[in-house]
Amino acid sequence: MKKYILYSLFIAQALQSSCNSFLEVDSPKTEVAAESAFSDAKTAEATVGGLYSSMNNYNNQFASGLMSIVLSSLADEYNSAFTTYDEYKANNLSPATSYLDRLWSQPYSYINHSNKIIEGLETSALSAAVKAQLSAEARFTRVFNYFYLSNLFNKVPLITDTKDLDANNQKGPAPKEELYGFMIADLNKAVADISDTYQGNERTRPNKKAVEALLARIYLYHSEWANAEAMADKVIADKRYELSQDLNSVFLKTSKEAIWQLQTVNISTAGVNTWEGFSIVPTVTTGRSYYQVYDATLARYESNDLRKVNWLKPYTVSDKTLYMPYKYKLRTGTPVTEYNTVLRLAEQYLIRAEARLNQNKLQAALADINEIRKRAGLAALPQHMAKAEIALALEKERQLELLGEWGHRWFDLVRTNRAVPVLSKIKADFTVSDQKIPISTSILLTNTHLEQND
């Protein structure tokens, strides 16, 4: 997949510092001319592949570990000993807090890249089938990034073309309802156009089920319970995917649970499997990690939960036993065996459980929760539970199953109005205003029409 970089129109990770405009990205020296990017199917596919490569080719960027680290710290999952994350751990964010500019600028650079691809394909002479497939992939990736932007910053500009960069850089925020309407419509178009077959032998390019999996999540967040259930149904029914009974195989590149993964492109460091593993796993087996799971979260594991045994690892500091996240086992190693898993089947069971619960299908919701618990080595929940009890059980299963993955826990607490009652018990002075993530000062300076989150 390294070859895709040669054809990438925009390398998002160039945004390690803020640009003059949040959509502006320096062109890489290896960039092909725009008119050549869609001259034939092979070059066009490589251009789209460059989009995925750019999302995962440097450490501690938006899509390569940073999201998981900062949102885990904001919530109650795990935090870092590095002082640059202290404001996240203390929920004391300001517009000057480190990394906030990346959480905004980098997704927009991927959106701009996606827009370029969609426009380039529209005017190309490629076959209708190739154009439909690649455009659908770009729409999927565009929505994926908008999903995170809208849930991080609430109201953000909706930019769907590259025709007027100056105008786009001065766009005001779109209402959240407009953003969700756009995301749902864009994914439904992608579902109609994209192949159900993976492009290649791995799951690093999205197929129809990846689009449906993301659509299920977005329907859930938009409280469209029946649609969320129906989309999750489609993914769960596909026999290509299964809950891996060996928890240590879930995050391998060969995982049958994976729906969509990102392959790390090792530009700067040889042997990296995933950037999260590179950041969290110590350099030596007996060494300490600089990341630790919150005590309150450790206390939630039942005594025989296989997720604690397999997905957390103890280490000792000053005679105290701490636990680090250990879903990704390798700091470095060749050949590469782990990929960054973005969408996986377990989430679809949890989505369907929540959608069913909100339609008062209590037994069906319990059945899905119990599938996840069974894989974790836990007993099934009793059938007589009340709806409120099931909701709390589901919250716990989402927390422990998806721990440290892509900000799920933080978004769950915020969207269900559970952040204050949960986090105020373990974090001093946590209030409703701490749920809002500010826009970086450097970003506000590029666009006078943006509105700061209070």
Tens-digit pLDDT profile for the chain (454 aa)? 333 333 333 333 333 333 446 665 443 333 445 667 898 999 999 999 999 999 998 889 999 999 999 999 999 999 999 999 999 999 999 999 999 999 999 999 999 999 999 999 999 999 999 999 999 999 999 999 999 999 999 999 999 999 998 899 999 999 999 999 999 999 999 999 999 999 999 999 999 999 999 999 999 999 999 999 999 999 999 999 999 999 999 999 999 999 999 998 876 788 999 999 999 999 998 889 999 999 999 999 999 999 999 999 999 999 999 999 999 999 999 999 999 999 999 999 999 999 999 999 999 999 999 999 999 999 999 999 999 999 999 999 999 999 999 999 999 999 999 999 999 999 989 999 999 999 999 999 999 999 898 7
Q: Is residue 312 included in any domain, yes or no?
A: no
The count of structural domains within the chain is 1
Q: Is residue 5 included in any domain, yes or no?
A: no
Q: Is residue 266 included in any domain, yes or no?
A: no
- Residue 142 structural domain: 57-116+125-255+341-444
Q: Is residue 322 included in any domain, yes or no?
A: no
Q: Is the pTM of this model over 0.75?
A: yes
Q: Is residue 360 included in any domain, yes or no?
A: yes
Closest CA to 215 of 203, 231, 197: 231
Q: Is residue 276 included in any domain, yes or no?
A: no
Rounded-to-integer distance, Cα 54 and Cα 63, Å: 9
Rounded-to-integer distance, Cα 27 and Cα 31, Å: 7
Rounded-to-integer distance, Cα 254 and Cα 442, Å: 41
422 contacts: CB under 8 Å, gap ≥ 6: 76, 413
CATH number at residue 372: 1.25.40.390
Q: Is residue 218 included in any domain, yes or no?
A: yes
Rounded-to-integer distance, Cα 205 and Cα 218, Å: 20
Q: Is residue 129 included in any domain, yes or no?
A: yes
